[in-house]
A and B are shown apart, each in its own frame.
Chain A
Amino acid sequence: MARLGTIIRLAERRQAGRLQRGGHGAIVELDTVTVRFEHQTVVDAVSASVARGEWVAVIGANGAGKTTLLRAVAGLVEYQGAIRLDGRDAAPLGRRERAHAVSYVPQSPEMPADMSVFDYVLLGRTPHISYLAVESSKDVAHCRNLLDRLELRHLARRHLSTLSGGEKQRVVIGRALAQEAPILLMDEPTSALDMSHRIEALEIVDELRHDLGLTVVSVLHDLTLAGQFADRLLLLGAGSVIALGTPTEVLDEATLEKAFGSPVRIIRTDDGELVVAPRRTGTAGKNSHEGKEEAR
Chain B
Amino acid sequence: MVIAAVLMIVVAAVALCVGPVTVPPSQVLGTLLAHVPLLHFHTSTPQLNQAIVWQLRAPRVVLAGIVGAMLAAGGAAYQGLFRNPLADPYLLGVAAGAGLGATIEIVYGGDSSSLLPVFAFVGGALAVAATYLIGVANGKRAWGYSIVLAGVAVAALLTAIQTYLQQRDAEQIRQIYDWILGSFSVASWSDVTLILPYVVVSAVVLLAHRRMLDVLRVGEEEAGTLGIHPARTRLIVVAAATLGTAAAVSVSGLIGFVGIIVAHTVRLTAGASYRIIVPVAMVGGAGFLIGADLIARTVLSPTEVPIGVITACIGAPFFLAVLVSRRGGVGMGGS
Interface set of A (CB-CB < 8 Å, partner B): 74-76, 95-96, 98-100, 102-104, 106, 108-116, 119, 123-124, 126-127, 129, 131-135, 159-161, 179
* A113 CB contact (under 8 Å) in B215, B218, B225, B333: B333
* B227 CB contact (under 8 Å) in A95, A110, A113, A135: A95
Q: Are B334 and A123 in contact (CB under 8 A)?
A: no
Q: Are A110 and B335 in contact (CB under 8 A)?
A: yes
* B225 CB contact (under 8 Å) in A103, A108, A119: A103
Known: A126-B226, A127-B227. A116 touches B335 (CB 8 A): no
Least distance between B335 CB and chain A CB atoms (Å): 5
Known: A110-B218, A110-B334, A119-B214. A134 touches B226 (CB 8 A): no
Collect the chain B residues with CB atoms within 8 Å of residue A114's CB: 267, 272, 328, 331-332
What size tier do the contact residues of chain B reach? 20 to 34
Q: Are B222 and A96 in contact (CB under 8 A)?
A: no
Tell me whether B273 is interfacial, beta carbon within 8 Å: yes
* A106 CB contact (under 8 Å) in B209, B212, B215, B221: B221
Q: Are A112 and B226 in contact (CB under 8 A)?
A: no
Least distance between A164 CB and chain B CB atoms (Å): 14
Collect the chain A residues with CB atoms within 8 Å of residue B227's CB: 95-96, 98-100, 126-127
Known: A114-B328, A114-B331. A126 touches B215 (CB 8 A): yes
A100 to B228, CA, bound (A): 12
A106 to B267, CA, bound (A): 28
Least distance between A253 CB and chain B CB atoms (Å): 37
Known: A99-B226, A106-B222, A123-B215. A134 touches B275 (CB 8 A): yes
A99 to B224, CA, bound (A): 9
Known: A112-B334, A161-B331. A129 touches B211 (CB 8 A): yes
A110 to B144, CA, bound (A): 15
Q: Please indicate which of the listed interface residues B83, B222, B328 has the most CB atoms of chain A within 10 Å of its own CB.
A: B222
Collect the chain B residues with CB atoms within 8 Å of residue A110's CB: 217-219, 222, 334-335
Collect the chain A residues with CB atoms within 8 Å of residue B218's CB: 109-112, 123
* B228 CB contact (under 8 Å) in A76, A95, A112: A95
Known: A76-B221, A111-B335, A115-B272. A132 touches B228 (CB 8 A): no
Closest A-B pairs by Cβ, 7 of them: A99-B227, A127-B227, A96-B227, A132-B208, A126-B226, A114-B272, A110-B219
A123 to B275, CA, bound (A): 12
Collect the chain B residues with CB atoms within 8 Å of residue A102's CB: 225
Q: Are A112 and B225 in contact (CB under 8 A)?
A: no
A133 to B209, CA, bound (A): 8
A289 to B209, CA, bound (A): 65
Q: List 11 A-B contacts (CB under 8 A).
A: A96-B228, A100-B227, A110-B219, A111-B218, A111-B334, A112-B218, A113-B331, A113-B334, A119-B214, A123-B215, A123-B226
Q: Are B224 and A95 in contact (CB under 8 A)?
A: yes
